[in-house]
Amino acid sequence: MTKLKPIMLHHPPISAALFLLISLAFTPTTVNAKERMNVLFISVDDMNCDLGAYGHPLVKTPNLDRLCKMGVRFDNAYCQQPLCGPSRASLMTGLRPDTLDMHTLKHELREKNPDVVTLGQLFRNNDYFSARSGKIYHYGNPSMIGTDGNDDPMTWDERDNPVGIDRSQQENIIRYGAGQENNKNLGISMAWWDPTSQDTDHTDGKVASKVIEWIHEKKDEPFFLAAGFFNPHCPYVAPKKYFDLYPIKEIEIQDLDSARDDLLDVPDMAIQRDMKNWPFYFKDVSIDEARKCKQAYYATISFVDAQVGRLLDALIESDLLEKTIIVFWSDHGYFLGEKGLWYKRKAFERSARMPLIIAAPGFKQSEVSSKPVELLDLYPTLADLCGLMAPTNLEGQSLRPLLVSPNSDTWNKPAVTQIWHGKKAWGYSIRTERFRYTEWLEGKAGRELYDHRNDPDEITNLADDASQAEQVATLSASLRAYVKLPEAKR
């Protein structure tokens, strides 16, 4: 605090109280660090909305249920590209993949965008402690566990890269599909393991432990802490007790005849990566094996949910719950046998949509928003809620209006997801409150239109239905503004 020069009194003495007011008026003031809002940024990998917190009848997520009661659950949240690398880069910069020129898993954020200010970097620049444990930017899973992966060092003050038995003992992982027993690429596999183990034996348990340590250490200073969980990304590995929550007889897989029928009216480009060994992506995977992998996927969800509970408890123990914004997000959705498909990288709802929950003190609690929102909206939202000056080129919008009124009529922004497989295979999909509309090669390779009011599973493609011609024209015109794929990638 700047010292004032002594005041020479040439008039009758003033009262002590008045003197104090005058002194304060001329004294520079600073914001007390204890009054600033913290951020706990919780990421999961490849998680779809098969969650108890989203109404799924089987999947147990008691801690995400708890988080939903603390804030707003977004039922129609969408990624910008259903692939880890570009999705995460987009979220952390508030810019679309086309703007970043990032559409693959390559480590090229700073190479192509050297001056970009990332979300965590913005907090660092404003005297927050910014740190992450685990995966926030892209990591090969499990190959890059224990390394910095494709991380951005300018985002963080500290980085932590734990290694659990899911990485160090991966020879125990069971693999399905012809030739998979010799496939070292577990990052795309039908594979699982259910060891009798403790949560903290696993990478994600260690991620939670490190973030909890930071919460306790940094409780008296503002922080942006990122817990980057690797689950439920394949291979699906979790302690056996979480597998025991899901008797295999309760796990359902769609009938394959009806699954194939669902794809009859879909453009070839929409599923070109999926049909070589259909169903379930790998050759000779049986329905029973797919069912086992789905059980394992659900087990990893409940395992991650338990780690979220540990983080929430740590905030309570440190008396920080009322001054911490909590964000829970996945980088995209995931197929588990629906339409006979597996994994992500598709323009369908199940691939583009993912869970998003925001609990912000002073805003709505136990509310649900049905408005379409995007992951790149998180950057301007957190800057807004924490009173930070965000870069002016962000392409998302602050979600503050929906945290105040979750289904506000003033929110009319659609959500746009794009797919890029190569120069001759790409498309864009736009989601409004009612419709999903997709164009492949700007319509030259096909179109899709799904009415989510009547067809939430996207079974019937209405793009060529004469009665929907006006709707197709309107959505196509709206989508056109977002098609900015660099010429070199067309």
Measure CA 388 to chain center.
22
Contact between 438 and 397 under an 8 Å Cβ cutoff? The reply is no
Measure CA 378 to chain center.
10
Task: Take residue 74 and report the two structure tokens written for it.
Answer: 């977004």
Backbone angles phi, psi at 308, to 5 degrees: -60, -40
Backbone angles phi, psi at 77, to 5 degrees: -105, 140
Task: Take residue 48 and report the two structure tokens written for it.
Answer: 């779809």
Residue 336 burial (CB count, 10 A): 22
For residue 142, cis peptide bond before it (omega within 30 degrees of 0): yes
3-class DSSP state of 427: strand
Q: Which of 79, 84, 234, 386 is catalytic?
A: 84
Give buried/exposed letters for 357-379 (b at 16+ CB in 10 A, else e).
bbbbbebbeebebebbbbbbbbb
138 is catalytic: yes
Positive or negative torsion for Cα 43, 49, 55, 61:
negative
CA dihedral 451, 411, 408, 59 (to 10 degrees): 50
Using CA atoms, how far apart are residues 214 and 150, in angstroms rounded to an integer?
23
Beta strands in 352-483, from DSSP E residues, in sequence order: 356-359, 367-369, 373-374, 415-422, 425-431, 435-440, 447-451
User: What ranges in 80-202 are assigned the alpha helix state H?
Assistant: 84-93, 97-100, 109-112, 119-125, 165-168
Using CA atoms, how far apart are residues 124 and 224, in angstroms rounded to an integer?
8
Backbone angles phi, psi at 73, to 5 degrees: -95, 125
DSSP state of 353: B
Q: Which of 103, 138, 202, 332 is catalytic?
A: 138
Contact between 228 and 132 under an 8 Å Cβ cutoff? The reply is yes
Strands 38-44 and 158-160: unpaired
Residues marked active site are found at 84, 138
